């Protein structure tokens, strides 16, 4: 899927490509044939696009971000642009929504930007395209080598946590890329968050390259380099601003699409149970009420919790989720108070709260500050309560159909 997107990704690196000066693609030049209106009308489709780049090679796809190739002792190295294209932005948005996110990787190896020489710094990064884009857009007017690791298309911190952005991968990629022939120094700048997976001491032992811990965020890279490769305190601390939280919401929601189909099926089936054994009318009418309560729970746990995270009382996320859930549940009850009885309203209230508490707890996986020991501790307490609340909600809901 990604491999077909010429502008975004390549299926292999272009080391076998020729290199030299930039080949400016010429727009299609009209042939005399095309100038003849009669002939043109006879032709199908739009006029053909520009001719192939001179860097194109059979079996490879030229990445949109590659401007040209420069010659090095280790072979041709792609020089990348530092401006993101419209297609880059579109693909980023899609990835944020979970579309194509699992295959959004670029070929690992050595890239460069500007006019690097043997003394230029080497920046090491992950091969998730979103990560690569976040880095390269900060490199305008900078000359550097970029060593992209094969982290299976996963960002720096998560890949480090999964032992993909690892000591072994750094050593391997340094060797495979022939970095020692390209630069005369023996230093690698790694993003600080990769320290979870990389031992600086072992990289030095295994590759001869010294690891310098760079800043956490790519937008600090320039200041870091200008300060003589020194990071100040703010560059070394993770943040979790409202924007950083909000940007996670779409992908969190995308994870819910599949289970939601099953849950909705269950909701409509259970809602049809009553004195008539099964009523299609109730399945739909009462089912919609539960679906509404469920949706409110999703909103409260997956959108509301991240947005107001620092201001919700409680440290445990299951409690934060329950708090936003109760607020959303009140809204559900107020909306349906004229169409549902007390038993039903209680069931809906519990449903929204339980769903929100569970999803709020799930948000722990997306934050940069929750410890596994803490998450496990709160889960041991919260899951039984959530399950019991959910169960009570179902019993009340089915029971209400018989009381009616």
Partner 1 sequence: MQDFRYLYDVSTLSLNHEACIGCGMCEIVCPHGVFKVENKRAGIIDKNGCMECGACAKNCPPEAISVNPGVGCAAYIIQTWIIGKNGNSRGIAKCC
Least distance (Å) between residue 47 CB and partner 1: 45
Least distance (Å) between residue 361 CB and partner 1: 5
Nearer of residues 93 and 387 to partner 1, judged by Cβ: 387
Nearer of residues 16 and 229 to partner 1, judged by Cβ: 229
Least distance (Å) between residue 111 CB and partner 1: 25
Nearer of residues 16 and 205 to partner 1, judged by Cβ: 205
Least distance (Å) between residue 377 CB and partner 1: 5
Least distance (Å) between residue 85 CB and partner 1: 28
Chain centre distance of CA 29: 41
Nearer of residues 102 and 117 to partner 1, judged by Cβ: 102
Nearer of residues 62 and 319 to partner 1, judged by Cβ: 319
Nearer of residues 148 and 375 to partner 1, judged by Cβ: 375
Nearer of residues 162 and 172 to partner 1, judged by Cβ: 162
Residue 75: CB atoms within 10 Å: 17
Interface contacts to partner 1, rule CB under 8 A: 157-158, 160-162, 192-193, 195-201, 213, 216, 231, 233, 236-240, 255, 309-310, 315-317, 361-362, 364-379
Nearer of residues 181 and 229 to partner 1, judged by Cβ: 229
Nearer of residues 76 and 105 to partner 1, judged by Cβ: 105
Least distance (Å) between residue 303 CB and partner 1: 17
Least distance (Å) between residue 290 CB and partner 1: 24
SS (H, E, C) the chain: CHHHCCCCCCCCCCCCCCCCCCCCCCCCCCCHHHHCHHHHHHCCCCCCCCCCCCCCCCCCCCCCCEEEEEEECCEEEEEECCCCCHHHHHHHHHHHCCCCHHHCECCCEEEEECCCCCCCCEEEECCEHHHHHHHHCCCCCCCEEEEECCCCCCCHHHHHHCCCCCHHHHHHHHHHHCHHHHCCCCEEEEEHHHHHCCCHHHHHHHHCCEEEEECCCHHHHHHHHHCCCCCCHHHHCCCCCHHHHHCCHHHHHHHHHHHHHHHHHHHHHHHCEECCEECHHHHHHHHHHHHHHHHHHHHHHHHHHHHHHHHCCCCCHHHHHHHHHHHHHHHHHHHHCCCCCHHHHHHHHHHHHHHHHHHHHHHHHHCCCCCHHHHHHHHHHHHHHHHHHHHHHHHHHHHHHHHC
| Cβ atoms of residues 95 and 104 within 8 Å | yes
Distances (CA, A) of 250 to 60, 88, 92, 366: 33, 18, 12, 12
Least distance (Å) between residue 236 CB and partner 1: 7
Residue 243: CB atoms within 10 Å: 8
Residues 351 and 389: their CA atoms lie apart, in Å, by 7
Least distance (Å) between residue 291 CB and partner 1: 23
Least distance (Å) between residue 139 CB and partner 1: 23
Nearer of residues 299 and 363 to partner 1, judged by Cβ: 363
């Amino acid at each position: 899927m990604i491999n077909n997107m010429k502008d975004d990704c390549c299926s292999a690196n272009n080391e076998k490509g020729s290199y030299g000066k930039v080949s400016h693609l010429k727009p299609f030049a009209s042939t005399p044939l095309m100038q003849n209106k009669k002939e043109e009308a006879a032709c199908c489709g739009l006029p053909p696009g520009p001719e192939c780049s001179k860097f194109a090679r059979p079996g490879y796809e030229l990445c949109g971000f590659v401007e040209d190739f420069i010659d090095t002792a280790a072979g041709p190295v792609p020089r990348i642009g530092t401006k993101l294209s419209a297609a880059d932005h579109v693909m980023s948005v899609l990835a944020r929504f979970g579309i194509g996110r699992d295959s959004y990787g670029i070929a690992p190896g050595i890239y460069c930007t500007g006019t690097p020489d043997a003394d230029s710094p080497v920046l090491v990064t992950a091969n998730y395209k979103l990560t690569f884009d976040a880095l390269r857009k900060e490199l305008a007017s900078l000359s550097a080598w970029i060593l992209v690791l094969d982290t299976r298309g996963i960002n720096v911190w998560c890949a480090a946590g999964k032992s993909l952005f690892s000591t072994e991968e750094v050593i391997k990629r340094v060797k495979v890329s022939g970095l020692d022939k390209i630069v005369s120094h023996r230093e690698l700048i790694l993003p600080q968050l990769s320290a979870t997976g990389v031992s600086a001491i072992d990289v030095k032992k295994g590759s001869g390259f010294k690891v310098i811990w760079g800043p956490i965020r790519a937008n600090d890279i320039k200041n870091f380099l200008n300060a003589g490769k020194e990071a100040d305190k703010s560059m070394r601390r993770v943040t979790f601003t409202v924007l950083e939280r909000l940007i996670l919401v779409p992908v969190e929601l995308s994870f819910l699409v599949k289970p939601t189909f099953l849950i909705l099926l269950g909701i409509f089936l259970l809602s049809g149970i009553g004195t008539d054994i099964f009523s299609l009318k109730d399945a739909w009418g009462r089912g919609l009420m539960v679906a509404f309560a469920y949706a409110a729970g999703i909103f409260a746990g997956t959108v509301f919790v991240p947005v107001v995270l620092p201001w919700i009382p409680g440290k445990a996320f299951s409690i934060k989720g329950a708090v936003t859930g109760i607020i959303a549940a009140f809204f559900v009850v107020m909306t349906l108070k004229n169409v549902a009885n007390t038993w039903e309203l209680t069931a809906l209230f519990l449903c929204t709260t339980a769903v929100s508490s569970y999803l709020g707890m799930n948000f722990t996986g997306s934050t940069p500050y929750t410890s596994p020991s803490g998450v496990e501790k709160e889960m041991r307490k919260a899951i039984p309560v959530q399950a019991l609340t959910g169960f009570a909600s179902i019993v009340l809901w089915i029971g209400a159909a018989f009381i009616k």
